[in-house]
Structure 1
Amino acid sequence: MIRIIALTDAGLALGKQLHAALPHSQLHFKPKPFADVVQGYFREGDALLFICATGIVMRTLAPVIASKHQDPPVLVMDELGQFVIPLLSGHEGGANQWGLEVSELMGAQLVMTTANAYLNPVYTLGMGCERHCPLPYLEDLMLQGLAQIGLIPEQVSGLYSIDIKADETHLIELARKYQWSFITYSAHALSEVEPLLSTRSDYVFKTVGVYGVAESAALVGARSRTGASPELCLNKIKNTKATCAVARSYQV
């Protein structure tokens, strides 16, 4: 979920434009009690876009900031819509890329302060599922995962899985629906990124020969796209029939 938070009338006008342009977003005007509400969204992992001064944002979020590997992406815009600042989780949470998308969408200037700002991130979606998993289980989980890190399907470069899923009807349908390439890899190829996994399942290993399909496939897909070292920006999430993860690598 993307939360757009405005504190002034001018900010509200800009917020309405952003809300109309950003899928899976909600607009909040002067939420009360401000700190409690905003900190709650942050703890839930929602992507936050503030239209106000950066000082207000930092003072409000300071008590709940954990680490760049856990915190959701946070952007700040001025109420005139001239500047977009990725404030938290620039690389790990995707705020830099999200800020770029918002700046292009609104004709604003991106103010990037993190390292490697000249690099272009490439995002890859990895998924695993039960045989004949219905499309809604795949699509809902995918949209949930992307929303958690402030991405939209158009920012994803491809869908990846293990080769025993190469004929999985609804994975193929999902890729076709969102105009993604659908690429699968052998268990041997996926095992090369095992040290980068956030979790390892012995059950999955005994079943398919790799400790995690979604994370492994996303990581190998990201590496293949750029030739650079990949990293997870969404650790595996799951529902009763599918798993999903997002990886990223950087391309000059």
Structure 2
Amino acid sequence: MKIAIIALTEQGSKTAKRIGSGFIPTPSLYVLNKITQDTCFTESDKSARIILFSEPLQQLVHQIFKQYEGLVFVMAMGIVVRMIAPLIRDKHSDPAVVVVDDVGRFVISMLSGHEGGANQLAHQIASILHTDAVITTGTDAQKDIIIGIGCKKEISGEVVKKSIIDALQKVNRKIEQVRLLSTIDIKSEEPGLLQVSQELGIPLRVVSKSEIATCVKEHSKSTFVKEKIGV
């Protein structure tokens, strides 16, 4: 998916940078030019496609609305509604639109959730920011199962998929009821997990060690896992 991220403030630009760092290839980052580039981006960000803009936001949005498959606005949703309203046509041709608040607390799938992929994009961004995706599509909102997956290095997608199906059958649930797959950050690049996530069309949510560590007082813990994984 060809993605553009648009930010208006210094804090929003920092959040946009965090989002962009989680995608390959790097999305285009549109930053208002009154935000001095060196306050948000360093020499290590040379691979980032940073585009400074000075024209009114509405003019920029009109220019790029059909150039990208996904648009991520790091700003208030009210602003986005006013900017894209005249451009919306139908769910089969409009790009995915996702809105993120300046500090990255919430990631909202706003337009073209299913057909355009905004729901999937929102989950990807939420995983990068370690926050929540807000999905209001009826069928997706009703999904209530999150499957946590731990695995050996280089596990095959076939084994992961079979394990998921077997686990669901044991509790008499269906794959259509699964909202997310989830794993720890050190497993985030496992080809087998990524393959199954893509095949099933279920987002993979990555959970950091620090997030898991906050739960150890509430749940049992394993000495073996502590030695191998760190939590």
TM-score, with length taken from structure 2? 0.51
| SS of match in other structure, 2:102 | coil
- Judging by fraction of residues, say which structure has more strand: 1
Asked if the contact 2:4–2:68 (Cα under 8 Å) also holds between the matched residues in 1, the reply is no
Give aligned-pair identity as a percent: 35
Number of equivalences: 130
Q: CA deviation at 1:180?
A: 8.2
Q: CA deviation at 1:46?
A: 3.2
Query: Closer, same or farther in 2 for the Cα pair 1:35/1:116, shift >3 Å?
Result: same
| SS of match in other structure, 2:138 | coil
Partners of 2:19 and 2:201 in 1: CA distance: 27
Corresponding letter in the other structure for 1:113: T
| SS of match in other structure, 2:136 | coil
Query: Closer, same or farther in 2 for the Cα pair 1:33/1:180, shift >3 Å?
Result: farther
The residue number in structure 2 matching 1:6 is 7
The residue number in structure 1 matching 2:31 is 29
Query: RMSD of the alignment, in Å?
Result: 2.6
Corresponding letter in the other structure for 2:131: A
Runs of 4+ with >3 A deviation: 247-251
Query: Closer, same or farther in 2 for the Cα pair 1:248/1:58, shift >3 Å?
Result: farther
Where do 1:64-143 residues align within 5 Å? 64-117=87-140, 118-119=142-143
Q: CA deviation at 1:101?
A: 1.3
Partners of 2:6 and 2:201 in 1: CA distance: 30
Give per-residue Cα distances to partners, 1:38-80, cap 9 Å, x unaligned: 1221122431001000011010001110011110101000011
Partners of 1:249 and 1:61 in 2: CA distance: 31
Partners of 1:67 and 1:47 in 2: CA distance: 15
The residue number in structure 2 matching 1:18 is 19
Unaligned runs of 5+ in 2: 33-52, 145-155, 159-174, 177-197, 203-231
Asked if the contact 2:6–2:73 (Cα under 8 Å) also holds between the matched residues in 1, the reply is yes
TM-score, with length taken from structure 1? 0.47
With CA pairs under 8 Å and 6+ residues apart, which has the higher RCO, 1 or 2?
A: 1
Give per-residue Cα distances to partners, 1:176-205, cap 9 Å, x unaligned: xxx989xxxxxxxxxxxxxxxxxxxxxxxx
Work out whether 1:63 is the aligned partner of 2:63: no
Where do 1:136-175 residues align within 5 Å? none
